[in-house]
Amino acid sequence: MKYRTLGGSGIQVSEFTLGAMMLGAWGTADHDEAVRIVHTALDAGINTVDTADMYSLGESEEIVGKALKGRRDDVVLATKFHNPMGEDPNRRGNSRRWIAQAVEDSLRRLDTDWIDLYQIHRPDPETDLEETLSALSDLVRAGKIRAYGTSAFPASELVEAQWTADRRGLVRPRGEQPPYSILARGIEREVLPMARKYGVGVITWSPLSGGWLSGRYGGPDGADPRTSHRGNTGMVDSLFDMNLPGNRAKLDAVTELKKVAAEAGVSLPTLATAFVRSHPAVTSVIMGPRTMEHLEGMLEGVDVRLDSAILDRIDEVVPPGTDIARDVTFYEPPALTDASLRRRR
């Protein structure tokens, strides 16, 4: 396992981060088995664990807290806030009021005195950015968090956060957590270059593009995404609705990428994670196993490096900076979601 510095923070994180979203009711409901998954990842050299308050409504944080007993000092622990944690409209968002409560709730569930990387799960157009950064800076100075970052922020807001922190004398954000895969390369245009410019570490998620790059689909022997992919509800996931042109384009790309993986002598999932790790702006890649088998499969590719010839082949299938079927987004700015902001009266 190799380690890299998270932006300008000086914190050393493993190239792979254990994502804990599937630990708890959303995935591995057996706490003992979930703890074993965490311990296996740590024993393999992974030193970074990422969770969020919303994952299984706090249960994921509780499991991580159990798993880190006696090992906390050796782990870079990351969690997130923003999403609703109850019906009360003030138990969500990026306000100072909610941050002050949310961090205490996470510290209690994680059974720790500090969080290494506290992340804003999504932008909040209703809260002034300076208000959020000021509250997080106070948490750094109080020793409750060591650093803070963002998730799924557009490049413009990453720059605004750096500018706001610099002008107001606040602690600068040191991490960004965007989705990134061979099928979703849009962040190569601005987000990743901005991260490098401002010393922001990048911990990416969804390297398998929600399962598209798992190796199950595409090619003559691939399964039919319409019938083989099921979400937690047992319903066919809309991300695999083959009536959508974008999903058909994904399937075509996956079929070609399977050929590239064969040329490289690796599995498609290994090709996918190695591709993400090859970008110089990427610090670590989150893998979120639901079972021990999933984790062991992911760890098989930990030492794989792709040469320029293979990376060129990937570029031929999905050009740099391209999102195939960006029909599902994780954050849309108000300028796109509020018609009144783009229609002159």
Give the active site residues.
Answer: 55
pLDDT (average), residues 88-111: 98
Residue type at 57 in one-letter notation: L
- CA distances to 150, 248, 254, 282 from 202, rounded to whole Å, are 10, 30, 25, 5
pLDDT tens by residue, 166-190: 999 999 999 999 999 999 999 999 9
For 27, list phi and psi in degrees, rounded to 5: -155, -90
| Rounded CA separation 333/336 (Å) | 6
Q: What is the DSSP string of 14-73?
A: ESEEEE-TTBSTTSB--HHHHHHHHHHHHHTT--EEE--TTGGGGHHHHHHHHHTTTTGG
Residue type at 210 in one-letter notation: G
Tokens 């997080």 locate to 136
pLDDT tens by residue, 48-68: 999 999 999 999 999 999 999
- Mean pLDDT, the chain, rounded, equals 93
* pLDDT value, residue 244: 83
Decide: 160 and 198 in contact? Cβ < 8 Å.
Answer: no
* pLDDT value, residue 204: 97
| Rounded CA separation 323/182 (Å) | 9
pLDDT tens by residue, 211-262: 999 988 877 677 777 666 554 444 446 778 888 888 889 999 999 999 999 9
Q: Is residue 319 pLDDT above 70, yes or no?
A: yes
User: Which residues are 236's β-sheet partners?
Assistant: 230
> Please, what's the b/e burial string for 1-25 (b: 16 or more CB within 10 A of its CB; e: otherwise)?
eebbebbebebebbbbbbbbbbbbe
Report pTM: 0.93
Confidence of residue 82 (pLDDT cuts 50, 70, 90): very high
Give 299's DSSP letter: H
Which CATH fold topology does 3-214+276-305 show?
TIM Barrel (3.20.20)
With a pLDDT cut of 70, the percent of the chain lying above it is 95
